[in-house]
Amino acid sequence: MSRSVRTRPEGSGQALSEAYDTALLDLDGVVYAGGSAIGYAVESLAEARAGGMRLAYVTNNALRTPDTVAAHLTELGIPTGADDVITSAQAVARLISEQVPQGARVLVIGGEGLRVALRERGLVPVESADDDPVAVVQGYGGPELPWGRFAEASYAVARGVPWFASNTDLTIPSGRGIAPGNGAAVEVVRIATGAEPQVAGKPLPPMHRETILRTGAKRPLVVGDRLDTDIEGAFNGEVDSLLVLTGVTDGAQLLAAPPQHRPTYVDADLRGMLSGQPEVQEAGDGGFRCGGWTATAGADRLELDGEGEALDGLRALCAVAWTAAGEGVCELDAEKALARLGL
């Protein structure tokens, strides 16, 4: 993928599962939600795998080990091995291991996923700032993580110990709604110390590097539901991406997306991996056409004419908004057009 500014979703004459060798799949909002599989996910992933595509599951959640994630996916009907799971805990453990001696002590503020990842890199997890750690690592520790753990991190960081974070997602989805994520916990230590951590997780390069090292992907496709982690991570890694609308991103957010948050492809769910993608064409006078829809910029809003698949209308609207974003078109009222599409 070029780093040039994307002005429209791309088309593909091939099914995406044939055009790319590896799918780098986010989990929450893409494969499952609240612990249950999202509609069409199990069947779509099975068909993609049967066609020869490698499936790798890439998560910023550092709490669970790859074995635990793989077992959960297998239980949902998606056969998965631990080697198919890449976590931000693994990415941050590699980042630390490149900067400290083998066998060094690392203060862990988080869960078992971090401890397992550190041991994999030959590092020794410790629990106290008084255990002479050479680094501090912070990852999501779940809702029961004691407040005192943040104090331990703050003591060590204030003494000048290098500080690392698996990721800085401010929120994390749960079965009861949106909860504070590791980014919120990182803010606690930042406020207490004034320091800044080195961060490994999506959308930053260490996470993408970890996925490529572990999968050996030559032509990967990032599949996600979040613009600021999944899609931006693909942009930073200079690879293509598929946004699915089963998670947190809605139509209005997509139309207003800055260049680094614009996916290569847009589809409703993981069935989009199994098909080609329609082409978005110029329709004259600054308009764009996709399927049976034509989108243009009106005096104060995005206009949509025609009929057909709702996603085609959304793709056409994206092209208008993204093409003229510098002229403020992305700020025009798109509510009526999106409502017509049911989005």
Q: Which pair of tokens denotes residue 241?
A: 């991406």
SS3 (DSSP) at 312: helix
Contact between residue 100 and residue 135 where contact means Cβ atoms under 8 Å apart:
yes
Question: Residue 84: how many CA atoms within 13 Å on its side-chain side?
Answer: 22
Which is it for strands 85-87 and 54-59: parallel, antiparallel or unpaired? parallel
Rounded to an integer, what distance in angstroms lies between the CA atom of residue 126 and that of residue 251? 45
169 is catalytic: no
Cβ pair 77, 104 in contact under 8 A: no
**Considering only CA atoms, which of 140, 92, 142, 144 is closest in space to residue 120?**
92
Q: Which of 28, 230, 267, 312 is catalytic?
A: 28
Catalytic residue among 26, 84, 225, 312: 26
Q: Can 240 be counted among the known catalytic residues?
A: no
Residue 3: what residue type? Answer: R
Q: How far apart are the first and last CA of the chain?
A: 28
Amino acid type, 58: V
Catalytic site positions: 26, 28
